[in-house]
Amino acid sequence: MEGRFPLAEGRGWLAVREEKGRVKCTAQLPNDGKGLYKCWLTGSGGMALLGTFVPQGNGLGLERTLSVDELKRQGAWPPEGGQAVLAFSFGREQPPPRGWMRENAPGQLLGEPLLAQAAGGPALLRREAEGFSLAYPYRPDRPFPLTPLFCFARLEELEGRPYLRFPFKPGGCPRLEDQL
């Protein structure tokens, strides 16, 4: 199986080649100087982290080989696409909205491995008596964050910007709003 998928709104690409139970993933992005990017392989059942892009020539590159079995366990086989996510910004960041803090690794807060993989990052975190909430900037032209929890998302405006908020119980299990 071979495939090539666009990354970063077509500015980069992710190539996938399977041979004898092993999958070689190669990706490239332009180096925009904004920060560190991570690459994810996406499938119908989840996402698999491929790693962090590193400088290569005038751009950023990544190579990773994984087993088909590992990608199946993470729900990313067969692949349906890829994502390049800014994981750490070099520039001045806007401060988080009042009552929220930046969480670079939101997956570590979640109890279910599938959700932890899908969480990506970064996100906004708010601690609450009932647990916590994660919020991701919302743009209809970008991949939906935390896809397995689509039905739990609440579209909210935080300081003038749209966010998708996901509520969780302590330990990282999804929480319905009426369970407050």
CA distances 144 to 42, 79, 150, Å, are 12, 17, 8
Task: Please report which confidence band the pLDDT of residue 179 belongs to, taking 50, 70 and 90 as the band edges.
Answer: very low
Can you say how many angstroms the Cα of residue 67 is from the centroid of all Cα atoms in its chain? 21
* pLDDT of 144 higher than 90: no
* pLDDT of 116 higher than 50: yes
* pLDDT of 37 higher than 50: yes
Task: Please report which confidence band the pLDDT of residue 20 belongs to, taking 50, 70 and 90 as the band edges.
Answer: very high
Highest mean pLDDT (candidates 60-69, 113-122, 135-144, 167-176): 60-69
Which residue type does 64 have? Answer: R
- How confident is the model over 63-73, as pLDDT tens digits? 999 999 999 99
Higher pLDDT, 94 or 15: 15
> Which stretches of the chain are DSSP H helices?
68-73, 113-118
* pLDDT of 180 higher than 60: no
Can you say how many angstroms the Cα of residue 94 is from the centroid of all Cα atoms in its chain? 20
Task: Please report which confidence band the pLDDT of residue 16 belongs to, taking 50, 70 and 90 as the band edges.
Answer: very high
- How confident is the model over 118-141, as pLDDT tens digits? 887 789 999 998 999 999 988 887
How buried is residue 144: exposed, middle or buried, by Cβ count under 10 Å (0-12/13-18/19+)?
A: middle
Task: For residues 156 and 165, give the distance between their C-alpha atoms in angstroms, rounded to a whole number.
Answer: 7
Cα–Cα nearest to 76, from 134, 122, 29, 14 = 14
Residue pair 47/74 in contact (Cβ under 8 Å)? The answer is yes
Residues of the chain with pLDDT > 70, as a percent, come to 97
